[in-house]
Structures are given as structure tokens and as C-alpha cells.
């Protein structure tokens, strides 16, 4: 075995001698990977195809003890550290260049207690893993809308999706978490134990340690829900968006309706002549009695003259993965996001104009309507910064060739800047790209000072910096 060079946080190279590498490997249930080894390229590859980094070493963790060993190893040598859960983060923070990547993906356990309506979930689990296990008992956790997303990153950033209006954010169902902090200790974070850490990890991202297990409350949902798409020609977007805005003001919490604007993919229920043309989609999900859902959804479904309406009973697990074919691994992705208190006519016109000049066939803008249960919790109850009922705009720019990088990124930035005067200033950290580090303090608002103080307490040297970073309070 030869010595290994790994990058430190000051940009220098630390030489790891063979005896230290053997000692590390001997203490692990998992394994280490270095360049040229089988499995290395697969472990460093993540969802966003723009990210192509090569860690000096990857530690594939099989349990909390492996994570503790990895953190000790990194701290003692001042190494750059990246932490991978599902590898879905848009900014690509799961992978570092030259440093140590701590890979949690083998820790993908999901254990459901149907009597207590609780689940214990590992940081390597995907939303699809969670849905399949919980739905076997007619239970669900409010998560995101793409089943290949990792539960860890989603939760630490807050987590919202189809069930949020009824059951709150993902963090609102979090009961406890086991967290390995920078000094190598594993702490239990809950309302009773280390409550300040529990507050911070509910929206503060991966800044405060590595979660090795999550404990969640589950909710009675499914197995069938009312869900589906209503597809309209984009030429009627202006009046439809205004009608949508007014209609969702008074819908019950059981109903979520998001808007997606993009070029039509070749979906089997769309006439062929619409493939590749701009469309506007109402994506609906009703959690409750199906007959009542039909009544509640009718005002939205009756808007305009849709090309297709495929709303009906679906299994929750199927609806949760319905958008997966449009979000496969490997494409180049760049996102920009705003929170809006309301969708003013001005911002709707800005969005509509931008969609008429989409730079690639896979780019889209979506508007998520939040509120309900999540808005009944105060902004300072968790680190998540914006609880009031609002809309989230995600400018999801997606393309295939690096020659189109500037075209697509510039389009996203122009739309983001044009809409900024109408935005709240907060944002969802999981939708932020890697070039928005200067925005972090602003988006956390009044919560930022406390987060920086807790960063100093739990990670004073900023070991966990590969994230939307909160710097330790001086």
C-alpha cells in the first residue's frame, strides 16, 4: 500500500501514510475507495451532471461507527469534507475535489413501526425507499416530489411536497435524529435532548454534523389518493395563471396544486402535435376522501380548455415517482429560486415571458403553493426561515451539452433577477446552486444569528462547509 495525498481545508495536500490508511480501514465496517478502484467513479457520480469532482478518498459508511471514524480521521488531518446522502443536491455539495467524501448511501434502512406510526430512516435512503416501506402500512411521511431524492438532504433543508399543506414540512414530522458532530461525538437531537441542535438541523442544512438516523412520525395516507395533471396550451397562460392564483386562495389543506411550465415531453396522453410545444400544467394532489377530492379539484380542472386531463385515483407511491422520468440522473442542471407572498400580475407576466424563450427542451419553471399546516408554526420554531403561506418559484434549467452552459445559466439568472423585486427574500436552501453563498445570511433572516452561534458551538472550525454554508460566529 502506498501513501495517499488528500486536500486540506487550507488547500494544501496532507500525506496519509500506509499505516494510517490500514488503521482506518481496519476500523470500518464499510470500505474506502481511491481513484482507479472499482466502484470509485460510481460513488463520486451524482444527480447533477455538471458536477465532475474527484475526491482524494471516499469512505462508504455502513453505520454510525463508520461515520464517527471518518469524522475523526478528517478532523485530525484538517481535511476538506463532503457528505453524500442521496447525491441529489443541486449545488453538488456531496462531492469535493481532492478531499474526503463521506458516503452515507449504504445506510439506506427504513424501519416502520405501524403501531406507533413511527419510522427510523437511514441517511442513505431515498424518498422512494421511504414511500415503499411506509405505504405498506397505509402510512406516509411528507417529503418531496422526486423519488430518487435523498431523505437526508431533503430533511435538513426543510422538505416540502404534495403532503405539506396537510401535514407540514418533512422537519415537522421529525421526532429525533442521531448526529455525529465535528468533535466525533454522536449526539441525540430532539426536543428533550440537545434541543438547540434539534432546532438547527430542522432547516439549517448539513452545517451542524452528519445525521446517521432520523426518527419520524408518520401519517395515515393512501394507499390511493386523487392526483394527476391538467395540461393547457401555453398561449392561455396569462389568464390561467391569474385564475389559478385566485382559485387556490381558498382551497382546503388536503389539496395541493402546483404549476409547471415547459415544452411538452412525449407523454403518452398528449396528442403528438403538442410534443415539444410550450404548455402549462396544473399538477394536483388531494389527500383525503376521493369523492370529496373530485369536488374540491373541480374549480381548477374547469379552468380554460385543457389539452388533457388525467386526474384520477392513483397509488401514492406511483404519484410520488410520476415526475422521475423527467428528472433522471446525468443531465446538466442549474436552479434559481424565489419565495413569493403572492403572485402579482407583474411577476406572472415576467415568468410567462421567460417561458416563451426556454433555452432547452428540458427547462421548466414551476410554482409550488405552500401553506396550511406548515404555516401554523412560527418562523423561529425551527431554522427553516419562511412559514407563512407562500409560493415557491423554481427556475429549473436542464440541458445535455456543456456548450449550452452559458445560454441556459444566463436565462435562469435573468428570470431570477427580473422577479427579485417581487420576492420575499427568503428561499429554500435545497434549491440554491453553488454560486449563491452570498445569499445564505439573507435567506435565513432573523434565524441566521442563532444559527451562526450554534455553528460555533457544534462546528467551530467549519469542518462541514460543503453546503449552503453558515459560518461560525466569531
Separation CA 343–CA 339 (nearest Å): 10
Structure confidence by residue, pLDDT tens digits, 184-232? 999 999 999 999 999 999 999 999 999 999 999 999 998 999 999 999 9
- Topology adopted by domain 110-221: 3.30.465
Predicted structure pTM score: 0.97
| Domain ranges across the chain | 4-103, 110-221, 224-431
pLDDT at site 2: 87
Cβ neighbourhood burial of 11 (10 Å; 0-12, 13-18, 19+): exposed
Are residues 237 and 261 in contact, defined by beta-carbon separation less than 8 angstroms? yes
The helix/strand count (H/E) of the chain reads as 14, 21
pLDDT at site 434: 92
Determine the 3-state secondary structure of 300 from DSSP.
Answer: helix
Tell how strand 312-315 and strand 224-233 pair up: antiparallel
- Topology adopted by domain 224-431: Vanillyl-alcohol Oxidase; Chain A, domain 3 (3.40.462)
Structure confidence by residue, pLDDT tens digits, 302-329? 999 999 999 999 999 999 999 999 999 9
DSSP result, 236-269? GHHHHHHHHHHHGGG--TTEEEEEEEEEPP--TT
The pLDDT mean for the chain works out to: 97
* Neighbour count for residue 181 (Cβ, 10 Å): 21
pLDDT at site 161: 97
Structure confidence by residue, pLDDT tens digits, 117-128? 999 999 999 999
Domain 4-103: assigned CATH number = 3.30.43.10
Question: What's the angle, vertex CA 336, arms to CA 89 and CA 126, rounded to 5?
Answer: 25
Determine the 3-state secondary structure of 355 from DSSP.
Answer: helix
Please enumerate in sequence order all residues whose Cβ is within 8 A of that of 198, keeping only pairs 6 or more positions apart, or say none.
176, 177, 189, 190, 191
Amino acid at each position: 500500500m502506498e501513501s495517499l495525498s488528500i486536500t486540506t481545508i487550507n488547500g494544501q495536500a496532507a500525506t496519509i501514510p500506509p499505516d494510517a490508511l490500514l488503521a482506518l480501514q481496519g476500523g470500518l465496517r464499510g470500505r474506502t475507495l481511491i481513484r482507479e478502484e472499482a466502484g470509485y467513479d460510481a460513488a463520486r457520480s451524482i444527480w447533477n451532471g455538471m458536477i465532475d469532482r474527484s475526491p482524494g478518498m471516499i469512505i462508504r459508511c455502513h453505520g454510525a461507527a463508520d461515520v464517527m471514524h471518518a469524522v475523526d480521521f478528517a478532523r485530525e488531518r484538517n481535511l476538506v469534507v463532503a457528505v453524500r446522502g442521496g447525491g441529489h443536491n443541486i449545488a453538488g455539495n456531496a462531492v469535493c475535489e481532492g478531499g474526503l467524501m463521506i458516503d452515507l448511501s449504504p445506510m439506506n434502512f427504513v424501519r416502520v413501526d405501524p403501531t406507533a406510526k413511527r419510522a427510523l430512516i437511514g441517511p442513505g435512503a431515498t424518498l422512494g425507499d421511504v414511500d415503499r416501506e411506509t405505504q405498506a402500512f397505509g402510512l406516509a411521511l411528507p417529503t418531496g416530489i422526486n423519488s430518487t431524492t435523498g431523505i437526508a438532504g431533503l430533511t435538513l433543508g426543510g422538505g416540502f411536497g404534495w403532503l405539506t399543506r396537510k401535514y407540514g414540512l418533512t422537519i415537522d414530522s421529525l421526532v429525533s435524529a442521531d448526529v455525529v458532530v465535528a468533535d466525533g461525538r454522536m449526539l441525540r437531537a430532539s426536543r428533550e435532548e440537545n434541543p438547540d441542535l434539534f432546532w438547527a438541523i430542522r432547516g439549517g442544512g448539513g452545517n451542524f454534523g452528519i445525521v446517521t438516523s432520523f426518527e419520524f412520525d408518520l401519517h395515515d395516507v393512501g394507499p390511493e389518493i386523487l392526483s394527476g395533471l391538467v395540461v393547457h396550451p401555453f398561449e392561455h397562460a396569462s389568464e390561467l395563471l391569474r385564475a389559478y392564483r385566485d382559485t387556490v386562495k381558498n382551497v382546503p389543506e388536503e389539496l395541493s396544486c402546483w404549476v409547471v411550465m415547459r415544452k411538452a415531453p412525449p407523454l403518452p396522453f398528449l396528442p403528438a402535435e403538442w410534443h415539444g410545444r410550450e404548455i402549462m400544467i396544473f399538477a394536483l394532489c388531494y389527500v383525503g376522501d376521493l369523492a370529496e377530492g373530485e369536488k374540491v379539484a373541480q374549480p381548477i380542472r374547469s379552468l380554460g380548455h385543457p389539452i388533457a386531463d388525467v386526474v384520477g385515483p392513483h397509488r401514492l407511491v406511483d404519484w410520488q415517482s410520476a415526475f422521475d422520468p423527467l428528472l433522471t440522473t446525468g443531465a446538466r442542471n442549474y436552479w434559481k429560486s424565489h419565495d413569493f407572498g403572492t403572485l402579482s400580475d407583474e411577476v406572472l407576466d415576467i415568468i410567462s415571458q421567460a417561458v416563451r424563450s426556454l433555452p432547452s427542451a428540458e427547462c421548466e419553471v414551476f410554482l409550488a403553493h405552500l401553506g396550511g399546516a406548515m404555516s401554523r408554526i412560527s418562523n423561529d420554531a425551527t431554522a427553516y426561515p419562511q412559514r407563512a403561506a407562500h409560493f415557491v418559484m423554481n427556475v429549473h434549467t436542464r440541458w445535455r451539452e456543456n456548450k449550452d452552459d452559458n445560454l441556459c445559466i444566463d436565462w435562469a439568472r435573468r428570470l431570477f433577477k427580473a422577479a427579485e423585486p417581487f420576492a420575499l427574500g427568503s428561499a429554500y436552501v435545497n434549491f440554491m446552486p453553488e454560486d449563491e453563498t452570498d445569499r445564505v445570511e439573507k435567506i435565513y433572516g432573523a434565524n441566521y444569528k442563532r444559527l451562526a452561534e450554534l455553528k460555533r458551538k457544534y462546528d467551530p472550525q467549519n469542518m462541514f462547509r460543503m453546503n449552503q454554508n453558515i459560518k461560525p460566529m466569531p
